[in-house]
Structure 1
């Protein structure tokens, strides 16, 4: 624990942002107990959608949290610990962890404003990315000697252990590192991030082929994750075999991606989606299946839900010449379809 953090100048604005991600393959294998017993593997990519934070140290003895995108604001008297009460608990949990571990229990008067380009339950890892963004702002404000692995692990601890929110580990590491990453997950929270050097033409072809579709329905991932966890704990062999298949598709897709074999990548994406649906009953539903089938009829050759499933964002791969037809088809279901672009940069913070 560090008890001597650098005091930033009062009135200085610290801004931070981190990118959201698409889970290409292996999603769910980063969740305990599966990854503890079998090890997990995930392939993901960060996209040009972000969560943002502005941190300002003040002198009024207040702690003010504001979620600009949700039009929520809450204020407390300065204290070393703020109990979760259902009001911006992610903000409070980041503050609590920083004060306890790096400021020697010394409370801080501050104002922390945040926003996100995607709603909670989007399937793009928005909640975890927001935690990473806020943590990165505090790291910059107090010049904390924390690298990417440190920030990602701390963010995981804040969300999964301090707050007890169910989920895996990939989102925190994707947001912190950024870019194309093949991630490995092992027992005792050990994570290895392997950044991939994907050729420019492959990235351009993927961006030209990708359609991102928001179903208009956010979902609570905790129930889906709880079902997956229960299936593993109870020895549901069909579900465990599906998780094994998810892991193998992540390994295969990494090779196809690096080689630029887009058709094979599409087949692996589709196989991974079919395996994911077998890991828990609530991952898909008739509405999602209908959207998937319509996109394929319009020319898409692969697609899946991003994240745990059940709602939020879907994404599809289609030949570039078919992409507009796929977009028009998807919009008939009442959601929002668009192109999608990647970002190579992870979490960052700067002073204003």
Structure 2
């Protein structure tokens, strides 16, 4: 039995510039962190005593004889690409719902790749996990997804992730005093809007409109370094980070009509009326989780205004995808 634990992520600035359509022409950069909410994948070789060869358990249960029969797209793609021949039982559990803007799909793909590698007794580096997950999602599944989620899930931590025109990426931990990161964390609130969306569909509308939004995407690109500068200058009020998030959200909303809607706008307006400095909808848009940045003394009023939503306390994490149980010969 192998169990992997892979974190979800929060992206602050630069989202959109991590799509190959953009960074292969302009380069890209994002500022993101992983949080202590995880995707768990358990994987074991299935003993040959059952009428099925593979058992996949997630929000549905699949018992199949052939990989091609698997309905879960990522499981089918990963097992096929890794040329699995033995019978497997795979279980998925997540701390937060899927399709919520926290990179859960990529965390799943990274976690499954990690589990299969461990089951075969192979060490998989963070870079290998990230690259393979990007390949699975973009090249095999042909999903309209960026490249930051897979990297954050594999590496973990608070990072500046840069994408070159050649397709390579560089992960640089953001060097910030621990007290400063704690200060930022105490200013952040995470709320579930109550509705989910398929990120690939929202992203498709953004990608098709990128040529018309070069000015906005270039500005979002620049905000990454501005955000890092705010964090690294301990004399700068952390409120400015929230104000920059507000600016980023305005640009992000302009990328496509599918990014926001009247319900999301109303939630954001309530948070701002409660004293928030800024915030943004996480992920491609259209639903999922909203991040709010505000002084701690304003949190109670904001939570009261958004009491119909689920508030999710969280902390930053820096471990990335990990094997938390390793019993390769166990049944």
Q: TM-score range by the shorter chain?
A: over 0.9
- Displacement of 1:145 in angstroms is 4.2
Partner of 2:136, secondary structure, is helix
Q: Which runs of 5+ in 1 are unaligned?
A: 1-12, 100-105
Q: How many residues align?
A: 321
Cross-structure match for 2:264: 288
**Aligned residue among 275, 293, 299 for 1:317:** 293
**Aligned residue among 82, 104, 107 for 1:126:** 104
**Is 1:299 equivalent to 2:275 in the alignment?**
yes
CA distance in 2, matches of 1:43, 1:203: 14
What does 1:231-242 align with in structure 2 at a 5 Å threshold? Answer: 231-232=209-210, 235-236=211-212, 239-242=213-216
- Displacement of 1:322 in angstroms is 1.2
Cross-structure match for 1:6: none
- Displacement of 1:297 in angstroms is 1.2
- Displacement of 1:200 in angstroms is 1.4
Cross-structure match for 2:146: 168
Q: Which moved more, 1:208-217 or 1:335-344?
A: 335-344
| TM-score for the superposition, normalised by structure 1 | 0.87
Cross-structure match for 2:230: 256
CA contact (8 A) 1:14 1:137 kept: yes
Cross-structure match for 2:54: 63
- Displacement of 1:149 in angstroms is 0.8
CA distance in 1, matches of 2:272, 2:245: 13
Cross-structure match for 1:8: none
Cross-structure match for 2:68: 83
Cross-structure match for 2:7: 19
Tell me: CA distance 1:223–1:252, structure 2 relative to 1, closer, same or farther (3 Å).
same
Cross-structure match for 2:326: 351
CA deviations 1:181-228 (Å, max 9, x no partner) are 100112343111111233211122122111101000001222321122
Superposition RMSD on alpha carbons, in Å? 1.5
- Displacement of 1:84 in angstroms is 6.6
Post-superposition, which runs of at least 4 consecutive aligned residues in structure 1 deviate over 3 A? none
Tell me: CA distance 1:109–1:338, structure 2 relative to 1, closer, same or farther (3 Å).
closer
Partner of 1:283, secondary structure, is coil
CA distance in 2, matches of 1:115, 1:320: 32
CA distance in 2, matches of 1:54, 1:145: 17
CA deviations 1:20-56 (Å, max 9, x no partner) are 0011111111012111100111000111110001111
CA distance in 2, matches of 1:244, 1:93: 34
CA contact (8 A) 1:300 1:318 kept: yes
- Displacement of 1:174 in angstroms is 0.3
CA distance in 2, matches of 1:15, 1:224: 32
CA distance in 2, matches of 1:267, 1:292: 13
| TM-score for the superposition, normalised by structure 2 | 0.93
Q: Which moved more, 1:298-307 or 1:219-228?
A: 219-228
CA contact (8 A) 2:160 2:174 kept: yes
